[in-house]
Copies of this chain bind each other. A is one copy, B any other.
Amino acid sequence: MADQAGHSSGEDLLFLTDEQLRKGIEAMFFAYRGFTADPDRILLEKGYGRAHHRALHFIHRAPGTTVNNLLAILGVTKQSLNRVLRTLVEDGLVESQVGQQDRRERHLHLTQEGAQLESALSAAQRGRMRSAYRSAGPEAVQGFRKVLEAMMDPEMRNRYISIMEGR
């Protein structure tokens, strides 16, 4: 009870005021805006939205993934995803291949053109992430990742970790 708010002493329990927590909440809000700002500009030019970006990102991350798997990662309905996926396939950014073992499944891959757009989007986002990391320093990066992981829903944390390790 005698502790002060401003400085965290580093080893004992955290003294967390509502004010501090609210600051964290607002930091998340503003930071997420910055986080999406650069890709959004590119997407606008091409006539796509964030939903397309997410699809491209995770198809790049896990080439050959099925629609169902993508659905689970993105957490939207198949109708929502399908609308986005259809335009990407029509525009020649994504390829949908019938599964070998299970021919009901569709395996998704980026075409060269799709990979190119994904790369541009990712480069923009990584650029901001890199400069944020650089200006915050290595220890801050560790903390950043730690807090983010703890903030995820458990299911998503597992999915995230398995994505990180698995492949």
B25, B30, B32: the one contacting A28 at CB < 8 Å is: B32
- When A21-B130, A61-B22 are in contact, do A30 and B157 touch as well, CB less than 8 Å? yes
Interface residues of A in 110-162 (CB under 8 A from B): 122, 125-126, 128-153, 156-157, 159-160
CA A23 to CA B142, docked complex, whole Å: 12
A13, A132, A135, A159 interface centre (most CB from chain B within 10 Å): A132
> Which listed segment binds B: A33-41, A63-71, A92-100?
A33-41
Q: A23–B145 Cα gap in the complex (Å)?
A: 9
Determine the interface band of chain A, counting residues with CB < 8 A from chain B. 35 or more
> What CA separation (Å) do A149 and B156 show in the bound complex?
24
Asked if A166 CB lies within 8 Å of chain B CBs, one says no
A39 to B62, CA, bound (A): 31
Contact B156 A34 (CB under 8 A): yes
Interface residue? A72 (CB, 8 A): no
Interface centre among A138, A144, A153 (most CB of B within 10 A): A144
A2 within 8 A of B: no
Could you say which residues of chain B place their CB within 8 Å of the CB of A144? 24, 27, 140, 143-144, 146-148
Instruction: Pick 26 A–B contacts, CB within 8 A, sort by A.
Output: A8-B141, A11-B138, A14-B141, A22-B126, A24-B144, A26-B57, A26-B61, A27-B144, A27-B149, A28-B31, A28-B35, A29-B54, A30-B160, A34-B156, A35-B151, A128-B151, A131-B150, A132-B147, A132-B148, A132-B151, A135-B150, A136-B149, A140-B144, A140-B147, A141-B143, A144-B146
